[in-house]
């Protein structure tokens, strides 16, 4: 069975936000069903990523690897920990510099890019709400539904 390491930032999660990429979500779902999937992140601790995944009902990965620092050196250090378990894996990466370092270190690597990572297109602020605003609104509505005896709104 194939083993895969999915880098969270830039593949699954939109960096700097709580949002996710639909493509990354689909990759996660497919790999979780058909491989031994491991997640790798340098931004969040294991508790942070577990909470983010739980909120989105994302389950199915084997383990979580925390990279001590961003960039190629941190990625390779984290990947070495999984290699020490005799796991050879396909690394799904969003950073070209990291992908090059991983290839040089003998890892099979797939580079994933997103149109959202490219130059920003002008948008109308009135039509698109930031993801964090939407997430906060949903959480507030959820909290209101759970609050007993809430006053009625006019």
Encode pLDDT of 63-116 as tens digits. Answer: 888 888 889 999 999 998 887 676 778 999 999 999 999 999 989 999 998 776
Q: Would you tell me the crossing angle of helices 96-104 and 72-83 to the nearest 10 degrees? A: 40
Pairing verdict, β 3-7 and 90-93: parallel
**What domains can be seen in the chain, in order of their start residue?**
3-115 (3.40.50.1000)
- CA angle 41–46–50, rounded 5-degree value: 100
- Sheet with 108-111, side-by-side order of all strands: 63-66, 36-41, 3-7, 90-93, 108-111
Q: What's the whole-number mean pLDDT along residues 11-32?
A: 88
Q: CA–CA separation, 112 vs 31, rounded Å? A: 14
- Which pTM was predicted? 0.70
């Amino acid at each position: 069975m194939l083993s895969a390491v999915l880098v969270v930032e830039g593949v699954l999660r939109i960096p700097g936000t709580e949002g996710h990429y639909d493509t990354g979500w689909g990759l996660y779902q497919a790999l979780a069903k058909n491989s031994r999937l491991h997640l790798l992140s340098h931004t969040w601790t294991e508790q942070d990523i577990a909470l983010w995944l739980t909120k989105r009902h994302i389950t199915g990965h084997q383990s979580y690897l925390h990279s001590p620092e961003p960039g190629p050196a941190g990625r390779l250090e984290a990947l070495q920990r999984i290699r020490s378990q005799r796991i050879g894996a396909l690394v799904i990466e969003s950073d070209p510099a990291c992908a090059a370092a991983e290839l040089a270190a003998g890892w099979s690597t797939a580079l994933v890019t997103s149109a959202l990572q490219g130059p920003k297109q002008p948008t109308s602020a009135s039509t698109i709400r930031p993801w964090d605003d939407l997430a906060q609104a949903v959480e507030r509505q959820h909290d209101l539904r759970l609050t007993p005896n809430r006053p009625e709104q006019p």
